[in-house]
A and B are shown apart, each in its own frame.
Chain A
């Protein structure tokens, strides 16, 4: 039960809750042994697996995006640590194969009631299965799975499904007797454990899990923070601009106060007070809109699959003063500087003409602008060429500097443009046009303040558009450069999926070959290292690999040694990115292979779908062998055969995604995707002829190497949703 945790968790040594579950287990006999430990009230064994999807009655996948889809056994282990535990709130527990429990939210969303058959898709060898819903579990005292789905079987079925029928558990919870501290219990339990198994308190396990999740959603936080930063800069700029216009116009009115003896201080104070009110008002409204927006974004995320609805919105107390501080300070600052500007000139001068800004101040503005632009450009160049430490800071500092520089110098820069515009107006529209032209030229500050507001407002919109398209293009290119196949089939939610699908795809008429690859992240010297596994033929034909040294054909025989190298050898081996170092490493480590652009080391994998009975290389034993991701490749004429693969799997691979590996085959992808959608969601599909389908499977997990204390980094496939 993933959302809660026992008092003491017994698990294979070196696991941590942050990692995705592996195929490593603890022996079930331990349960009986631990029951004898002093202070243990009860001991329960858990089987836990991820990627167990429930397909709703409407054929749609429930959840699965973001929060995990958890499967496992049902045990009545109480949650420790004063956490709300889950309990059966309706029906009974599953007793035999073909019976299943669902959490109440999943059951509700799927439209299932007790007694009905539930469609379940697993990433195991079994693929899809159907089971009768016999009970519903939930949190009687309130609580939530935070958007995760939970599917529970009886222990035997769970073992068959997820542990290859092994008489084992993923982990064991030991519940403390009243009066026994969790720490003491953990110590007592540890003393009773054999080698290779460890006991941690539930608190530690929960911390590990929490930090992993925090890390996993870290990208989101960063992204939102960047966005917030941009909004703040843009907002502040717009406010400064907005205020500089009325204050320039109001300089006359302020001069009317100055003439009968109002001091600079008084004038400034009045402007500040005036700004305070809109500042407060704006901050209040902004806060309110922000909350509304947060609600909106949350439901938007839910649409995209990142379901956060299990978590209530958090309004930290410091948000409110921070919002007011920013709002009021920016507004008052914006009002202050133009006001000070007007109090610097003689009253009559200000009265006579609200635009009578000294020429010298324009020149200074221009100079400041030019300096900012040059400095920003230099910083940007330095940052982009990596010639300084912390290049990102240079880039991040350079861009706003350029922006402010342009805005600052714009009254001067824009003069020729405005003159040209004025000339054209006069030509086209006679005296009215001349008037318009003169008006825009009369006060270059005001004119450019207006257009700067537009400029700076449009720039983030452009930024987002460009970043979005670039990200898409770079993913496309990565696929194009690294995949020889025609189509990549992957889980829609970035999860692994059953090897069975790959085998079935191989059986599709017209499929030439199906290639599978596993993928895992391992820790090497504290650094994340992607490890791919594929059989030598797949390596040779399915990847674009620069062989640095050695020969793919003999890699199969030597994988044992290579495994040791890879797993124990420590950090530097895994580093690639720079070709030079990859070459050097490759040269030293005969059979090692590097994909040129991807941070992936390749290992031979014998567990090819064509040869399912055999295990992978020993070094990869800890890669859960059922957690595969597939790439499908279709060669030949693109317009043919796209329905076939999907059609063959209309009951099976719910939530599969297909994308083209080459940009010149968009039609095929769309068709394939559409066909997939039809096949999966509606059980319909076109029978067409797929001539060639290659596939690859990726498995995610952890190799038992390196630094355990660090959570596994995200998968290297760039799909943020796979980071859960």
Chain B
């Protein structure tokens, strides 16, 4: 499932020279400009960068939800670009959990149905005990029967996190999972994500703008203008703020 790199660390996902452009001619945008990144198995990684730096794009490309213009993405030992549609579908369903930046629930399904959607698509029974744990942690038990349009933004986000976790995927991509949450519920969600990595060996990647959220993780990478420009291990709030200040300084001067 995972490959081991030269140093002997298992790698859950590997990105090499990934480029993604939108539009063409004058209107062309380079969302990703040759990104290379290894996501270590069982690690909780945060991606922090200015808005528009290509974080979401990177996540989409890694999660087989979008196609890159060039470059390669490996999930485990499989290169996404070489997979057939069927295999990609199975990968999305069984091995990847994704929390969209703006959660995209299926509007016609209830919160619970949305949460177990990957399992119902696969015609599998969700693990009830784990389901309960996740629901309890994100705190939406009393909202399970509601439709997405009856949920607040924060509740929707928690539903999204629950869906990404319930299937116990190998990799969880979370695009600003706590962006709409108050600090208490945000902390609970972050704790859950950290436990997923620490206790269950899942690889968790999270985009965030919050240095506190980043301090929950094992590692923070900093993209800017379509490239990874910096990286912190075992970050704390101050360290993250330092890097952020460093990164924005030249921009402020310019």
Contact = CB atoms under 8 A, between A and B. Distances in A.
B66 A266 contact: no
A259 B98 contact: yes
B66 to A, nearest CB: 4
Interface in B113-151: 117-118, 121-122
Given A257-B106, A347-B66, A348-B66, A263 B94 contact: no
Contacts of B108: 253
Contact of B90 (A261, A347, A348): A261
B104 interface: yes
B104 A351 contact: yes
A264 B85 contact: yes
Contacts of A545: none
Interface residues of B, number: 24
A258 B90 CA distance: 11
A260 B60 contact: no
Given A253-B107, A263-B86, A346 B65 contact: yes
B98 A257 contact: no
A262 interface: yes
A259 B92 CA distance: 7
Interface in A305-355: 346-349, 351
Contact of B106 (A253, A264, A266, A347): A253
Interface in B94-108: 94, 98, 100, 104-108
B70 interface: no
Contacts of B60: 348
B65 A348 contact: yes
B163 interface: yes
A392 interface: no
A256 B108 CA distance: 11
A256 B106 contact: yes
Contact of A263 (B67, B89, B104): B89
B209 interface: no
Interface string A248-260: 0000010011111
A253 B121 CA distance: 15
Q: Which has the most chain B C-beta neighbours within 10 Å: A262, A264, A266, A349?
A: A262
Given A346-B65, A348-B60, A266 B104 contact: no
B93 interface: yes
B53 to A, nearest CB: 17
Given A253-B106, A261-B93, A266 B65 contact: no
Interface residues of A, number: 16
Interface in B25-71: 60, 65-67
B162 to A, nearest CB: 12
Contacts of A258: 89, 92
Contacts of A261: 89-94, 118, 121-122
A346 B92 contact: no
A254 B212 CA distance: 36
Contacts of A264: 85, 89
A256 B104 contact: yes
Given A253-B106, A348-B60, A262 B121 contact: yes
Contacts of B89: 258, 261-264
Contact of B105 (A256, A263, A266): A256
A247 to B, nearest CB: 15
A600 B121 CA distance: 75
B195 to A, nearest CB: 22
Nearest to A255: B104
Q: Which has the most chain A C-beta neighbours within 10 Å: B60, B67, B86, B163?
A: B60
A565 to B, nearest CB: 78
Contacts of B93: 260-262
A262 B98 CA distance: 14
A260 B85 contact: no
A257 B85 CA distance: 14
A266 B92 CA distance: 14
A235 B91 CA distance: 41
Q: Which has the most chain B C-beta neighbours within 10 Å: A257, A259, A264, A347?
A: A259
A676 B66 CA distance: 80
Q: Which has the most chain B C-beta neighbours within 10 Å: A253, A260, A349?
A: A260
B66 A259 contact: no
Interface string A417-435: 0000000000000000000
A171 to B, nearest CB: 74
Contact of A260 (B66, B67, B107, B118): B118
Given A257-B106, A262-B89, A347 B122 contact: no
Nearest to B122: A261
B105 A260 contact: no
B66 A346 contact: yes
Nearest to A266: B121
Contacts of A263: 85-86, 89, 121
Q: Which has the most chain A C-beta neighbours within 10 Å: B65, B92, B105?
A: B65
Contacts of A262: 89, 93, 121
A690 B218 CA distance: 113
A704 B153 CA distance: 92
Interface string B161-191: 0010000000000000000000000000000
Interface in A594-631: none
A671 B120 CA distance: 79
Nearest to A351: B104
Interface string A219-261: 0000000000000000000000000000000000100111111
A261 B98 CA distance: 11
B110 to A, nearest CB: 14
Interface string B71-94: 000000000000001100111111
A259 B66 CA distance: 10
Contacts of B100: 259
B65 A259 contact: yes
B121 A257 contact: yes
A173 B66 CA distance: 86
B95 to A, nearest CB: 9
Contacts of B163: 260
Interface in A525-580: none
Contacts of B117: 257, 260
A584 B251 CA distance: 97
A261 B86 CA distance: 10
Contacts of B122: 261
A406 B164 CA distance: 47
A96 to B, nearest CB: 85
B52 to A, nearest CB: 15
A264 B85 CA distance: 8
Contacts of A348: 60, 65-66
A253 B98 CA distance: 16
Contacts of A349: 66
B65 A347 contact: yes
Contacts of B92: 258-261, 347
Contacts of B98: 259-260
A261 B108 CA distance: 17
A718 B94 CA distance: 73
A253 B89 CA distance: 16
A415 to B, nearest CB: 18
Interface in A346-385: 346-349, 351
A261 B166 CA distance: 14
27 contacts: A253-B108, A256-B105, A257-B117, A257-B121, A258-B92, A259-B65, A259-B92, A259-B104, A260-B93, A260-B98, A260-B117, A260-B118, A260-B121, A261-B89, A261-B92, A261-B118, A261-B121, A261-B122, A262-B89, A262-B93, A262-B121, A263-B85, A346-B66, A347-B65, A348-B65, A348-B66, A351-B104
Among all A-B residue pairs, the 9 with the closest Cβ atoms: A261-B93, A348-B66, A261-B92, A260-B118, A263-B89, A348-B65, A348-B60, A346-B66, A347-B65
Given A256-B104, A346-B65, 19 more contacts: A253-B106, A256-B106, A258-B89, A259-B104, A260-B93, A260-B98, A260-B117, A260-B163, A261-B89, A261-B90, A261-B93, A261-B121, A262-B89, A263-B85, A263-B89, A264-B85, A264-B89, A346-B66, A351-B104
